[in-house]
A = this chain, B = another copy of it.
Amino acid sequence: MLDGLRGVIDGSELIGIVNTGDDLCLHGLQICPDLDTITYTLAGLNNSETGWGLRGESWRVMEELEALGGEAWFRLGDRDLALHLYRTQRLSEGASLSEVTAELLAHFDVDVTLLPATHGALSTRFTTPELGVLSFQEYFVKHRHAVAVSSVSFEGASRATPAPGVLDALEQADLIVISPSNPIISIGPIVAIDAIREALVRRRDDVVAVSPLIGGKALKGPADRLLEELGLSASSLGVARCYAELAATLVIDALDGDDAASVESTGMRCVVAETLMDDAHSAAELARVLLDA
C-alpha cells in the first residue's frame, strides 16, 4: 500500500507506522519481520513469490544451522541475516529501533519514513485450545496459521507508548490510511497502544481503512479465518467492526460491493473500489481512491 501511495505522492511525504508485535529474538538476534518486509519492498528488493525475505537470497547459514540441529523453522537468508546482525549490534550500542530503521532505509535509498509503532516490548500472543499460548511466529510460521485460535492478545500493550514521531505523524497527517493488512494481528497490535488508538479516534474523520478481504477471503494469511474465529464474521462487516471507532471510511473491494449497507450500519462510510494491488498501476489506482475518499 505504501508503494502504491508512493506512485501518486512523493515518498518523502509518506510516513509508515509499522507493527512490531511480530518481532522476535531468535539466536540472540533482534528480528522485526514487518519493518524488514516493508523496507525490502520499498527498496524493490523483496521476494514477491514468497511474500517475505529478499529476492535472490542465499541460504548458507541456514543450511549449516539445520545440519547442526539448530532452530531452523524461521528461515533467515544470508543477506537478511546481515541486516539482523546490524540491527542487533546497533541496538546493543544504545541506538533506538527508530534510529536503526532510519539507517537501514537510508542504506537502501528509500525516501519513505518508517516508524515502529513502539519501542516497547509488545508481543502478539495467540491462545489456542490445541497448543496453548503461541507467539506470533510460532502461530504464523511454525504452524502456518493452521491452528484454531480462541483469542489474541498483545502482551505489554498496556505499558507500551508510541515511538518518537508516531503521535506527531498522526496529529499532523493530511490523511491517515489503515492499510489492507490483517485487522487483528497486523493493525491490532498498533491500535492496542492507548495513545495511538486515542489519536486515531480524534482524527477519525481523516482516517480511511482498506479491507484486506476480496470476495470475503484474505489474499494470503489468516485474516478471514481469525475474523470468523473471534466472532467478528469473515466479511466487510467483520472488518468494519474492527475499525468503526477509528476510521470514518472503509474501502471494500468491488467483489464485496453487496456488503456496503452492512458496513454503513456500523457508522462508517463505505467506498467500493478495486482493491487488488497486483502491479504498480493497480496499487497507484487504489492510492488515488484513498486520496479522493
Contacts and interface: CB of A to CB of B under 8 A. Distances in A.
B85 A70 contact: yes
Contacts of A61: 60-61, 78-79, 81-82, 85
A194 to B, nearest CB: 31
Nearest to A104: B68
B79 A64 contact: yes
A203 B125 CA distance: 56
A64 B82 CA distance: 6
Given A58-B60, A64-B79, A79-B61, A27 B85 contact: yes
A89 B26 CA distance: 7
Nearest to A80: B64
Nearest to A63: B82
Interface string A68-111: 11110000001101111110111010000000000110010000
B64 A89 contact: no
A79 B61 CA distance: 5
A68 B60 CA distance: 19
Given A65-B82, A83-B68, A92 B28 contact: yes
A55 to B, nearest CB: 13
A83 B27 CA distance: 10
A60 B67 CA distance: 18
A62 to B, nearest CB: 8
A111 B184 CA distance: 52
Contacts of A43: none
Contact of A70 (B29, B68, B86): B86
A79 B60 contact: yes
A26 B86 CA distance: 10
Interface string A29-54: 11000000000000000000000000
Nearest to A89: B27
Interface string A6-31: 00000000000000000001111110
A34 to B, nearest CB: 19
A65 B82 CA distance: 5
Contacts of A25: 92
A280 B3 CA distance: 61
Interface centre among A25, A61, A103 (most CB of B within 10 A): A61
Nearest to A62: B82
Contacts of A103: 69
A86 B68 contact: yes
The 7 closest A-B pairs by CB, nearest first: A64-B82, A28-B88, A27-B85, A60-B78, A28-B28, A70-B86, A65-B82
Given A29-B29, A61-B61, 14 more contacts: A27-B28, A27-B88, A28-B29, A60-B78, A61-B78, A61-B79, A61-B85, A64-B79, A64-B82, A68-B82, A68-B83, A68-B104, A69-B86, A81-B81
